[in-house]
């Protein structure tokens, strides 16, 4: 696919294209070696241009555990006692128990194909399944990271790999459970994992490798400070305050709530992404919002697991930034993450247009722009459609009835609230058209491979 240096390898033309300053009409994009090299506005299509009606920048998915895609729908049957996040987690641990690196590769490849079909062009893979069955270490400590990288290379999505340190089962450095044996590392072992992750990720054109202390439950304070030192300029992601029990345990351990503890003990800044942050007081939400860190919101998973609703109002009032993630991958759909994020706030506060903060602003366009900026920042890349950036673009089917007589931000609103994923036509990632008519070109092969692995795992 690569053109010789200096030649334009591809040119796309859009009647309407969402650029960093808003929707623009009649735009030509020139692409070379995966990157956008020129943008012409108010232009006419030229012979050789591939023409489309509506285009948006691809969305970063800032939080995924790809292997969990394989158990999607298998934890929806009522158990003997009160079903909760914790009973779901026990099912998840049993599911992960038998997976080989090749199983992980096949399941992740399908998840990434589905992400591209759903409008996501980069994934933040929060990766903690490091060891072989029973916790036996592989010769290559980053063997499983290699499986993730292979799945990414197959699907063609962008990768920010977030190798995870998971050491304990609870606050106060409680020893890990048996079900966690495949995750457990010391800080020294984590250093070697990180080197291996860097080595594997170097095979991809624009991968980023960050650092992820799993949670305040799984990482002790001295380990957390070792990791923040190690991170240098890398993105740092952590799960925080997802469950009420987690907040209670944290208070019992430290006298502080999780977000409060983190902000007091660590320099939480623009390089940080706090995933979930569901349970915050107004003052925690305000302090977090002011810190410049990103809130990693995963509305579908947070609803599925019964986590609770993010306190968006005080957070946004303090200037808080956020992005969206598909987390457990129980359903992979960018438009639905955005829709559910807004709908959760409407249901909680009994109003409409909650996340568009100013009068006259479009809800869909506001969330799309915020999640694009926040997701990019969390994943260590500049997002959007601009010269010098990868051509990561989603086109919509202009024949969908939801788009009749829609222009500008009404296109975004109609995509998010009235059409959804079915309106996605093509997706380009690093300049290559991977999805057409909503289907990834490798979908059939990747799905067959997935099918074989699931038959083996679930049998």
Which residues in this chain contact ligand NGQ in the complex, by CB under 6 A? 65, 89, 239, 242, 301, 305, 327-328
Part in contact with Zn ion (CB under 5 A); list of ranges 26-34, 35-43, 195-203, 327-335: 327-335
Q: Which of 65, 127, 237, 276 is an active site residue?
A: 276
Compute the distance between CA of residue 312 and CA of residue 367 in angstroms, rounded to an integer. Answer: 12
Q: Which of 419, 416, 299 is nearest to 18 (CA)?
A: 416
Give which of Zn ion, ligand NGQ, none residue 105 binds (C-beta under 5 to 8 Å, depending on kind): none
CB-based closest residue to Zn ion? 327
Question: Could you tell me where the DSSP H helices lie in 169-243?
Answer: 187-201, 221-231
Phi-psi region at 42: left, alpha or beta (left = phi > 0; alpha = psi -120 to 50): left
Q: 303 or 418: whose CB is closer to Zn ion? A: 303
Compute the distance between CA of residue 140 and CA of residue 154 in angstroms, rounded to an integer. Answer: 21
Compute the distance between CA of residue 332 and CA of residue 117 in angstroms, rounded to an integer. Answer: 9
Give which of ligand NGQ, Zn ion, none residue 242 binds (C-beta under 5 to 8 Å, depending on kind): ligand NGQ
Question: Could you tell me where the DSSP H helices lie in 266-408?
Answer: 282-291, 299-304, 312-317, 334-349, 363-378
Compute the distance between CA of residue 150 and CA of residue 144 in angstroms, rounded to an integer. Answer: 10
Q: 32 or 237: whose CB is closer to ligand NGQ? A: 237
Angle at 444 between CA 442 and CA 449, to 5 degrees: 95
Angle at 214 between CA 329 and CA 429, to 5 degrees: 45
Part in contact with Zn ion (CB under 5 A); list of ranges 171-179, 259-267, 283-291, 319-327: 319-327
Q: How far is the CB of 65 from ligand NGQ (least distance, A)?
A: 5
Q: Which of 229, 231, 188 is nearest to 209 (CA)?
A: 231
Part in contact with Zn ion (CB under 5 A); list of ranges 324-332, 335-343, 372-380, 416-424: 324-332
Give which of ligand NGQ, Zn ion, none residue 117 binds (C-beta under 5 to 8 Å, depending on kind): none
Q: 107 or 385: whose CB is closer to ligand NGQ? A: 107
Q: Which of 287, 285, 334, 277 is nearest to 308 (CA)?
A: 277
CA-atom Rg of the chain in angstroms: 21
Q: 165 or 393: whose CB is closer to Zn ion? A: 165
Q: How far is the CB of 256 from Zn ion (least distance, A)?
A: 22
Q: Which of 162, 148, 156 is nearest to 104 (CA)?
A: 148
Q: Would residue 392 show up in a list of annotated catalytic residues for this protein?
A: no
3-class SS of residue 365: helix
Q: How far is the CB of 155 from ligand NGQ (least distance, A)?
A: 20
Using an 8 Å Cβ cutoff, are 409 and 356 in contact? no
Q: 85 or 417: whose CB is closer to ligand NGQ? A: 85
Which two three-digit tokens encode residue 267?
């320099």
Using an 8 Å Cβ cutoff, are 30 and 38 in contact? yes
Q: 87 or 189: whose CB is closer to ligand NGQ? A: 87
3-class SS of residue 341: helix
Using an 8 Å Cβ cutoff, are 394 and 421 in contact? no
Q: 113 or 218: whose CB is closer to Zn ion? A: 218
Give which of ligand NGQ, Zn ion, none residue 89 binds (C-beta under 5 to 8 Å, depending on kind): ligand NGQ
Q: Would residue 327 show up in a list of annotated catalytic residues for this protein?
A: yes
Q: How far is the CB of 238 from ligand NGQ (least distance, A)?
A: 11
Q: How far is the CB of 217 from Zn ion (least distance, A)?
A: 12
Q: How far is the CB of 173 from ligand NGQ (least distance, A)?
A: 15
CB-based closest residue to ligand NGQ? 65
- Which neighbouring-strand residues pair with 50? 12
Q: 154 or 327: whose CB is closer to Zn ion? A: 327
Compute the distance between CA of residue 248 and CA of residue 246 in angstroms, rounded to an integer. Answer: 5
Cα dihedral sign, 83-85-89-95: positive
Q: How far is the CB of 457 from ligand NGQ (least distance, A)?
A: 17
Q: Which of 327, 397, 409, 449 is an active site residue?
A: 327
Q: How far is the CB of 237 from Zn ion (least distance, A)?
A: 9
Measured between alpha carbons, how far apart are the two ends of the chain, in Å? 41
Cα dihedral sign, 303-242-277-248: positive
Which chain residues interact with Zn ion by CB under 5 A? 327
Residue positions annotated with a catalytic role: 276, 327
């Amino acid at each position: 696919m690569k053109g010789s240096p200096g030649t334009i390898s591809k040119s796309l033309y859009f009647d309407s294209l969402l650029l960093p300053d808003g929707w623009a009409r009649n735009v030509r994009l020139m692409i070379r070696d995966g990157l956008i090299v020129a943008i012409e506005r108010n232009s006419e299509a030229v012979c050789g241009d591939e023409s489309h009606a509506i285009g948006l920048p691809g969305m970063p998915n800032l939080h995924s555990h790809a292997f969990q895609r394989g158990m999607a729908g298998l934890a929806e049957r009522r158990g003997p006692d009160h079903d909760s996040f914790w009973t779901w987690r026990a099912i998840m641990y049993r599911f992960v128990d038998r997976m080989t690196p090749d199983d992980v590769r096949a399941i992740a490849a399908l998840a990434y194909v589905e992400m591209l079909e759903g409008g996501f062009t980069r994934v933040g893979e929060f990766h903690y399944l490091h060891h072989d069955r029973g916790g036996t270490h592989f010769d290559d400590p980053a063997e499983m990271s290699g499986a993730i990288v292979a799945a990414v290379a197959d699907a063609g999505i962008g990768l920010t790999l977030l190798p995870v340190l998971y050491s304990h089962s609870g606050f106060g450095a409680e020893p890990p459970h048996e079900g966690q044996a495949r995750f457990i590392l010391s800080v020294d072992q984590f250093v070697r994992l990180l080197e291996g992750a860097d080595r594997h990720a170097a095979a991809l054109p624009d991968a980023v490798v960050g650092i992820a202390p799993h949670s305040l439950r799984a990482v002790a304070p001295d380990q957390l400070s070792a990791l923040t030192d190690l991170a240098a300029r890398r993105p740092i992601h952590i799960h925080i305050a997802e469950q009420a029990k987690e907040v209670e345990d944290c208070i019992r351990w430290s006298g502080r709530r999780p977000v409060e503890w983190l902000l007091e003990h660590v320099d939480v800044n623009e390089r940080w992404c706090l995933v979930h942050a569901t349970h915050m007081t107004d003052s925690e939400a305000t302090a977090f919002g002011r810190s410049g860190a990103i809130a990693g919101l995963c509305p579908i998973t947070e609803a599925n697991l019964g986590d609770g609703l993010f306190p968006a109002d005080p957070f946004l009032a303090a200037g808080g930034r956020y992005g969206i993630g598909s987390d457990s991958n129980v359903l992979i759909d960018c438009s639905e993450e955005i829709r559910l994020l807004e709908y959760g706030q409407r249901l909680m506060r009994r109003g409409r247009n909650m996340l568009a903060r100013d009068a006259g602003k479009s809800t869909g366009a506001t969330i799309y722009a915020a999640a694009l900026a926040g997701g990019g920042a969390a994943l260590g890349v500049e997002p959007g459609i601009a010269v010098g950036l990868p051509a990561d673009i989603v086109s919509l089917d202009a024949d969908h009835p939801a788009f009749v007589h829609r222009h500008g931000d009404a296109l975004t609103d109609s995509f998010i609230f009235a059409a959804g994923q079915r309106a996605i036509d093509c997706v380009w990632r690093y300049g290559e058209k991977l999805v057409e008519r909503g289907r990834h070109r490798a979908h059939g092969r990747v799905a067959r491979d997935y099918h074989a692995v699931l038959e083996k795992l679930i049998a």
